[in-house]
């Protein structure tokens, strides 16, 4: 099925560990995004990529890095995880309307 | 800067009654407006959008929304609520003039809708 695929779906990390969240879309969209969702906070933009080869900071970029590997793939990296990064992470892609992945539930202990 | 406000954290409505979930927005130019729904442990699903034209927009699952430019509002409505409508609803806005080829959406904090049997 066409859409946005995120891996993994669940992850538990220890403080200080690193990991990369993967996202791939097969809709030939130009723009891709990473959001985090926290209770009572809605979705907040971490980073986005307007097109292949470009990335920009969103509202809450600290502690994260991203890579737009090609048009299909946009990864989010946590270099040294902190408990404050416990959240649900959503990847999305768009040419106009947004399509969201099913999310990665990350817990940092 | 663009922003969205959803003034109600939770809305409770009896099954069969009409429902309204409120949203107001702020953009410097003309807005593109969206509603998304999120069921437990799922991603966001698109419901409807306003781009231009008729102020009353019809979307998925019998939902509709009314764009009111003077009140900068885009309230979500449904004539008869179903228990299966219980979910988290997000309003989002994009400034028509946001450039660089990226269509950044700004989301409200969400409203939890509970439909009571």
Reported as a single tens digit per residue, the pLDDT across A50-89 is: 889 899 999 899 999 999 989 999 999 999 999 999 999 9
Which of A56, A71, A100 is the best substitution to test chain B (most B C-beta atoms within 10 A)? A100
**pLDDT the model gives residue B7:** 96
Which A residues in the span 35-74 are in contact with B, Cβ-Cβ below 8 Å? 35, 40-45, 48-51, 56, 58
Residue B100 has pLDDT above 60, yes or no: no
Reported as a single tens digit per residue, the pLDDT across B72-92 is: 999 999 999 999 999 999 999
Which residues in chain B touch residue A35, judged by CB atoms under 8 angstroms apart?
Answer: 107
Residue B47 has pLDDT above 90, yes or no: yes
Residue with tokens 């995120």: A6
Of A42, A45, A101, the CB nearest to B104: A45
DSSP state of B2: -
d(CA A104, CA A88): 6
Cβ-count burial B14-33 (b if 16+ within 10 Å, e if not): eeeeebebbbbbebeeebbb
d(CA B79, CA B74): 16
B44 vs A100: CB contact, 8 Å cut-off?
Answer: yes
Cβ-count burial B52-71 (b if 16+ within 10 Å, e if not): eeeeebebeeebbbbbeeee
Confidence of residue A92 (pLDDT cuts 50, 70, 90): very high
SS3 A85: helix
Reported as a single tens digit per residue, the pLDDT across A9-44 is: 999 999 999 999 999 999 999 999 999 999 888 899
**pLDDT the model gives residue B98:** 60
**pLDDT the model gives residue B103:** 67
**pLDDT the model gives residue B96:** 66
A42 vs B9: CB contact, 8 Å cut-off?
Answer: no
Confidence of residue B95 (pLDDT cuts 50, 70, 90): confident
Residue B12 has pLDDT above 80, yes or no: yes
Residue B99 has pLDDT above 60, yes or no: no
**pLDDT the model gives residue B97:** 64
Name which of A48, A4, A9, A51 is nearest B104 in CA terms: A48
**pLDDT the model gives residue A62:** 96
Residue A1 has pLDDT above 80, yes or no: no
**pLDDT the model gives residue B29:** 82
SS3 B92: strand
Assess contact for A60 and A10: CB atoms under 8 A: no
How big is chain B by its Cα radius of gyration, in Å?
A: 14
Instruction: Name the E strands within A1-109.
Output: 4-7, 10-13, 19-25, 31-38, 42-49, 56-57, 64-68, 74-78, 87-94, 98-100, 104-108
Peptide bond into A61 cis (omega under 30): no
Least confident of A56-60, B98-102, B107-111: B98-102
Which A residues in the span 3-22 are in contact with B, Cβ-Cβ below 8 Å? 4
**pLDDT the model gives residue B102:** 59
A94 vs B34: CB contact, 8 Å cut-off?
Answer: no
A42 vs B34: CB contact, 8 Å cut-off?
Answer: no
**pLDDT the model gives residue A55:** 94
Which residues in chain A touch residue B42, judged by CB atoms under 8 angstroms apart?
Answer: 102-103
Assess contact for B1 and B105: CB atoms under 8 A: no
């Amino acid at each position: 099925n066409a859409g946005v695929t995120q891996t993994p779906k669940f992850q538990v990390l220890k403080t200080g560990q690193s990991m990369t969240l993967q996202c791939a879309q097969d809709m030939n969209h130009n723009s891709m995004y990473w959001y985090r969702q926290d209770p009572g906070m809605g979705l907040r933009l971490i980073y986005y990529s307007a097109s292949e080869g470009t990335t920009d900071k969103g509202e809450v970029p600290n502690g994260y890095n991203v890579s737009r590997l090609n048009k299909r793939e946009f990864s989010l990296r946590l270099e040294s995880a902190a408990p404050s990064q416990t959240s649900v992470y959503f990847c999305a892609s768009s040419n106009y309307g947004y399509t969201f992945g099913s999310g990665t539930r990350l817990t940092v202990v | 800067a663009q922003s969205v406000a959803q003034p109600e954290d939770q809305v409770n409505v009896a099954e069969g009654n009409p429902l309204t979930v409120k949203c107001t927005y702020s953009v410097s130019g003309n807005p593109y407006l969206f509603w998304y729904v999120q069921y437990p442990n799922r991603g966001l699903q698109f419901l409807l959008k306003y781009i231009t034209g008729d102020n009353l927009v019809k979307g998925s699952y019998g939902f509709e929304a009314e764009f009111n430019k003077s009140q900068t509002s885009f309230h979500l409505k449904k004539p008869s609520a179903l228990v299966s409508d219980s979910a988290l609803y997000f309003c989002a806005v994009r400034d028509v003039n946001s450039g660089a080829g990226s269509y950044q959406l700004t989301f409200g904090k969400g409203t939890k809708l509970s439909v009571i049997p």
